[in-house]
Amino acid sequence: MAATAHTKPQESIERSQGTLASGIRHLYEKHEKYAGIAIFGIGFIWDSFTMTRVDNIIDNIILLFYLAIIAAMIIVTLRRQCGKPPAAWIQKLEHRLLWAMQFCFGGLFSSYVIFYFKSASFTRTQFFFLILVLLWVGNEFLEQRLKNRVLLAVLYCFCLFSFLAFFLPVVIAQVSAWIFLLAGFISLFISLAVFSVALVPQIGEWKIRMKPVTVSILSTFLVVNILYFANLIPPVPLALKSAGIYHQVTKTPAGYLPPSLFRFWEKWDDPFYFSPGENVYCYTAIFAPGKVRVPVHHVWSRKTSEGWARTDSIGFDISGGRQGGYRGYSAKSGITPGKWRVEVETEGGQTLGRVDFAVVPTPSLHPPLRTVLLR
């Protein structure tokens, strides 16, 4: 009797577990077409919270791991196409390789979208950011196309180049055009090496198979460099954290004190109510990785009938390491009513951000100002 009494509850539990598993499976099958979108969104949200700084060592190790895994899977996949099967233990996992490769590419693109978004401004640098977004979204439909060696060559070279473009400045503690070129040549060499190993059979066949791959890798290298020197790539690892136009900015031990008009719906003074003899101050906070010291410029421009005309370029050095960005400001005298713009640029002319504002004559009674603390 004791044995029977024990068996019935056990059978009931197993039956309940089976019903629950069946219900979950039925729910998944019913909404399976939305599973990819859900995982895609959850993954991006996770990356948004976990990948906070471009110089975080753990984040960069993860991205390097993705690149290494993709290289290994490219070698296995293309060697199989060339008639050279992998080791027995790899063959057991072979049916999952394309899915794993897609997952790693998705992780890379998701991270790049986050990092480059922080450096992209509402200027022409958005072009490269939009390319990353398209690749990130398009990756969800690439699983079966990842057998194409030309597509793999383009994606891998692009991913490696995009990573080294912000990783090398962090390691070398310097941001410049020659470091970007160095990142390009390293990505070019590694990409060619990976595909040279992957397409290993007879010499004659190897040359034929490598030709379109080499052309694709060289084309990717060239296009990214053209985008960079046309100032269409955000200047990672630098990022504009905040910016504003104020009536005055004063540096104190606690932070920066800019007095501005009492308008809770605006962060700074736009329109700027101008009195004769008054200066206009542009405040910025620019993030750079630790130990990086790089010159930037506040470029002041006024809207004319012929377009935007530059009036001043005020430069200063920023030092990296502070989470909220290196704070600084420039002052412009001799201001006149009209539309104005301050662009924050690197020494090479890349745009970190832009502040547009209008200068209007102050009313007879100047609106009251309040002082805020910017930390």
Decide if 24 is inside a domain: no
Confirm whether 150 is domain-assigned.
yes
Q: Are 150 and 249 in a shared domain? A: no
With a CB cutoff of 8 Å and minimum separation 6, the contacts of 164 are 183, 184, 186, 187
Give the DSSP letter string of 197-228.
HHS-S-HHHHHHHHHHHHHHHHHHHHHHHHHH
Task: Find out whether 329 and 256 touch, Cβ atoms under 8 Å.
Answer: yes
Task: Specify the pLDDT at position 319.
Answer: 84
Give domain status of residue 108, yes or no. yes
d(CA 291, CA 320): 6
Last residue in a domain, options 229, 252, 271: 229
**pTM of this prediction?**
0.76
Q: Among 114, 99, 98, 97, which residue's Cα sits nearest to residue 62? A: 114
180 in the same domain as 245 = no
Q: 185 with 323, same domain?
A: no
Residue 41 belongs to some domain of the structure: no
Q: Would you say residue 297 lies in a domain? A: yes
Residue 72 shares a structural domain with residue 161: yes
Interatomic CA distance for residues 121 and 127, integer angstroms: 10
What is the pLDDT at residue 157?
Answer: 93
What whole-number distance in Å separates Cα of residue 242 and Cα of residue 348?
A: 21
Compute the distance between CA of residue 234 and CA of residue 207 in angstroms, rounded to an integer. 37
Same domain, 157 and 199: yes
Q: Check: CB of residue 58 under 8 Å from CB of residue 173.
A: no
Structural domain span for residue 280: 239-371
108 contacts 159 by C-beta, under 8 angstroms = yes
| CA 160 to chain CA centroid, nearest Å | 13
Contacts 24+ apart (CB under 8 A), 68-75: 69/100, 69/104, 70/101, 70/104, 70/105, 70/108, 70/156, 70/159, 71/156, 71/190, 71/194, 73/97, 73/100, 73/101, 73/104, 74/101, 74/152, 74/156, 74/194, 74/195, 74/198, 75/194, 75/197, 75/198
Q: Identify whether the C-beta of residue 292 lies closer than 8 Å to the C-beta of residue 320.
A: yes
Closest by CA position to 81, among listed 218, 195, 160, 217: 195
Same domain, 154 and 211: yes
Q: Output the pLDDT for position 195.
A: 92
Residue 16 domain flag = no
The amino acid occupying position 57 is: I
Specify if 46 maps to a domain: no
- What single string gives the DSSP state of each residue in 30-82? HTGGGHHHHHHHHHHHHHHHH---TT-HHHHHHHHHHHHHHHHHHHHHHHHHT
Question: Are 199 and 325 contained in the same domain?
Answer: no
Residue-wise DSSP of 324-361: T-EEEEEEE-S--SEEEEEEEEETT--EEEEEEEEEEE
Among 186, 208, 229, identify where a domain stops. 229
Q: How confident is the model at residue 338, as a pLDDT? A: 92
- Pair 216, 174 in one domain: yes
**Are 310 and 358 part of one and the same domain?**
yes
**191/269 same-domain check:** no
Per-residue pLDDT of the chain (375 residues; tens, 9 = 90+): 444 455 556 555 555 555 655 655 655 555 555 555 555 555 556 666 666 678 888 889 989 999 999 999 898 888 887 767 666 656 666 666 777 787 788 788 878 877 777 665 555 556 666 776 666 666 555 555 667 888 889 889 999 999 999 999 999 988 888 999 999 999 999 999 999 988 876 556 777 888 899 999 999 999 999 988 888 888 888 888 888 888 888 877 766 656 665 554 456 667 888 888 788 989 898 888 888 888 999 999 999 998 899 999 999 888 887 877 888 889 998 888 999 999 999 888 888 888 888 988 877 666 666 666 565
Residues 65 and 178 in one domain: yes
270/220 same-domain check: no
Residue closest to 363 by CA, chosen among 263, 282, 280, 272: 272
Q: Is 72 a domain residue?
A: yes
Residue with tokens 């219900």: 23
Give the CATH number of the domain where residue 343 resides.
2.60.40.1930
How many domains does the chain divide into?
2
Where does a domain end: 204, 229, 254?
229
- What one-character DSSP code corresponds to residue 318? E
Asked if 252 and 366 count as a contact pair (C-beta separation under 8 A), the reply is no
